[in-house]
Amino acid sequence: MCGILALLGCSDDSQAKRVRVLELSRRLKHRGPDWSGIFQYGDFYLAHQRLAIIDPASGDQPLFNEDKKIVVTVNGEIYNHEKLRKLMPNHKFRTGSDCDVIAHLYEEYGENFVDMLDGVFSFVLLDTRDNSFLAARDAIGITPLYIGWGLDGSVWISSELKGLNDDCEHFEVFPPGHLYSSKNGGLRRWYNPAWFSEAIPSTPYDTLVLRRAFENAVIKRLMTDVPFGVLLSGGLDSSLVASVTARYLAGTKAAKQWGAQLHSFCVGLEGSPDLKAAKEVADFLGTVHHEFHFTVQDGIDAIEDVIYHIETYDVTTIRASTPMFLMSRKIKSLGVKMVISGEGADEIFGGYLYFHKAPNKEEFHRETCRKIKALHQYDCLRANKATSAWGLEARVPFLDKEFINVAMSIDPEWKMIKHDQGRIEKWVLRKAFDDEEQPYLPKHILYRQKEQFSDGVGYSWIDGLKAHAEQHVTDRMMLNAAHIFPHNTPTTKEGYYYRMIFDRFFPQNSASLTVPGGPSIACSTAKAIEWDASWSNNLDPSGRAAIGVHNSAYDNHLSGVANGNLDTPIISNMPRMVGVGVAAELTIRS
């Protein structure tokens, strides 16, 4: 993923302003360490920090149409760019970059071209013919984007908060599936799928239709000119991503460049559930597997960096982002620039354990819709920023537009968890890949119970975070929490600890408003807490909080932390990669 920054209509075309835009753009350099670019037209500035995945040699940005009257800065991947080029035979493209089509599509179709894009993206387009501009964000919000306004009437667009928080009077999250047009003076939704209204679908479940839709989503994400791999936790979602990738990698351009044997990556505390399951899946699929270990203290030491990069104080997101942040650094050190990951399946299929308590199919479906709509504030935020912190791109096939359309059109009765019929969470997805003749995964992995990433890396990780916060946040501090933090007041010491760090980096009121809040049980929305009266007394985002559902209880994993044992050893076992460097030391300490 790249980093974009745009300052539009600031009434200042001085050299000093250009220098300031460059300074702010450099705050995003971690997202795009390969090249920097800036375009200035009067008091319009478009800056770009590039992570080169497609056409590394000539795809530098900003990008232009033929006469350079239309300029665009883009963060994203356009998977159908070759098909779109064929729709415009009279246009001459300057580069082989997948994002090169955007300026030409605007020239050909005007503002209504955005829905033609199959991919993930955030972009700002400037039309110098009339000084109008257009900004847009992908359907689900896989790429991050923020919008701000200056006292001088300027509009700011940035991939991250840190690009605009010091120079805007007010800023907020740029909503997914929307575009901002200077001609119309505001935001409007361009993404309007059938599921968005939360109407209950009735399409019968078809295993082959669902399977093929997901395979297509993975295959299109094999578009790369750089080394890549898969994130493999050993759970259902990442294991299916790895299985489908390994099955279809041979014969692709990527395989010809980097070898047909897939590389997989996993992180966890020593002895954690994920490490064991991931190794078993890797052995089954024949991947070159890379296992990273970290200690609770390693993670605690990284918390400030994580909050700075992820730009949130949400407890669940920080818990899960920290191992991913540490792992991403090691992956990038090996020369890998892109990974495919499994985010989104739990939201689409009701995979979180609290879905066991859904009272009926209507509530089940509405909750999945609410969860998908909120993804940009949680798992998408984590997956994108935890990897982009080290110049690594994460691709998420479960959030493919077409796959979502197929999956969200299924009658939710099929998604309901029914123990008497042998249906556990995400049964429709598991069943779609339960192939006896050519198995995608071992049966016990295919039907492994859901583990949230922050739990699966090792239960003592969360317990250690709580113990650390207990040492740094006093009871008196909690008594005054509502006065110090009136918005999204922390209700736990762990939450208070994260909030203090966040406010130090992002003290503006606008910044605190970009983070979601409200009660949650095992990652539920506030609405779903109504499903079980006992949950209101046990509000914790960990999957283990779904008492009576999760197979592992809290008490089984507290002894080590209670005894002050926060460390686990770090080991090293790294097979050599084809076309990828090998790090000599694997200790995940900064």
Name the burial class of residue 197, with classes exposed (0-12), middle (13-18) and buried (19+) by CB atoms within 10 angstroms of its CB.
Answer: exposed
Is residue 341 classed exposed, middle or buried when 0-12, 13-18 and 19+ CB atoms within 10 A define those classes? buried
Nearest by Cα to 404 from 246, 201, 545: 201
Helix, strand, or coil (residue 48): strand
Q: Which amino acid is at 140?
A: I
Task: Give the number of other Cβ atoms within 10 Å of residue 402's Cβ.
Answer: 13
Residue 542 has a pLDDT of 61
d(CA 345, CA 80): 23
Q: Is 532 annotated as a binding residue?
A: no
What pLDDT, on the 0 to 100 scale, is given for residue 56? 83
Q: Is 118 annotated as a binding residue?
A: no
Judge whether 218 and 244 are in contact, CB under 8 Å: yes
Q: Which residues face 394 on adjacent strands?
A: 339
* pLDDT tens for the 590 residues of the chain, in order: 799 999 999 989 999 999 999 999 999 999 999 999 999 999 999 999 999 888 887 778 999 999 999 999 999 999 999 999 999 999 999 888 899 999 999 999 999 999 999 999 999 999 999 999 999 999 999 999 999 999 999 999 999 999 999 999 999 999 999 999 999 888 999 999 999 999 999 999 999 999 999 999 999 999 999 999 999 999 999 999 999 999 999 888 888 888 889 999 999 999 888 899 999 999 999 999 999 999 999 999 999 999 999 999 999 999 999 999 999 999 999 999 999 999 999 999 999 989 999 999 999 999 999 999 999 999 999 999 999 999 999 999 999 999 999 999 999 999 999 989 999 999 999 999 999 999 999 998 999 876 655 566 767 999 999 999 999 999 999 999 999 999 999 999 999 999 999 999 999 999 999 999 988 888 889 899 999 888 877 666 665 555 556 565 434 443 333 333 333 333 333 333 333 333 333 333 33
What's the pLDDT at 59?
Answer: 74
pLDDT at 451: 61
From the list 288, 292, 277, the residue with the least C-alpha distance to 238 is 277
- Residue 574 dihedral angles phi and psi, to the nearest 5°: -120, 105
Where in the chain are the domains?
3-192, 199-450
341 is in an annotated binding site: yes
pLDDT at 153: 94
> Which tokens go with 100?
């090169």
How many residues in total does the chain contain?
Answer: 590
**What is the 3-class SS of 365-389, one letter each residue?**
HHHHHHHHHHHHHCHHHHHHHHHHC
Distance (Å) of CA 15 to CA 18, 49, 492: 5, 20, 48
Q: What is the DSSP string of 262-317?
A: PEEEEEESTT-HHHHHHHHHHHHHT-EEEEEE--HHHHHHHHHHHHHHH----HHH
The answer to whether the bond into 541 is cis (omega within 30° of 0) is no
503 is in an annotated binding site: no
pLDDT at position 455 is: 60
Instruction: Give the predicted TM-score (pTM) of the model.
Output: 0.91
So what's the pLDDT on residue 577? Answer: 33
Number of continuous H segments (helices) and E segments (strands) in the chain: 22, 17
DSSP string, 496-539: HHHHHHHHHH--SHHHHHTS--S--STT--TGGGGG-GGGGG--
Helix-, strand-, coil-residue percentages of the chain, each rounded to 5: 45, 15, 40
Position 256 scores a pLDDT of 87
Check whether domain 3-192 has CATH 3.60.20.10, yes or no: yes
Q: Is 2 a catalytic residue?
A: yes
Report the alpha-carbon angle 463-468-469, nearest 5.
100
Q: What is the rounded distance in angstroms from the CA atom of residue 268 to the CA atom of residue 455? A: 10
pLDDT of residue 95: 87
Distance CA 424, CA 419 (A): 7
* pLDDT of res. 519: 85
CA 25, CA 160: separation in Å to the nearest integer?
10
Cα–Cα distance between 446 and 413 in angstroms, integer? 21
Q: Of the CATH numbers 3.40.190.10, 2.102.10.10, 3.40.50.620, 3.40.50.300, which one belongs to the domain with range 199-450?
A: 3.40.50.620
- Kindly name the residue from 2, 99, 168, 523 that is annotated as catalytic: 2
Residue 239 annotated in ligand binding? no
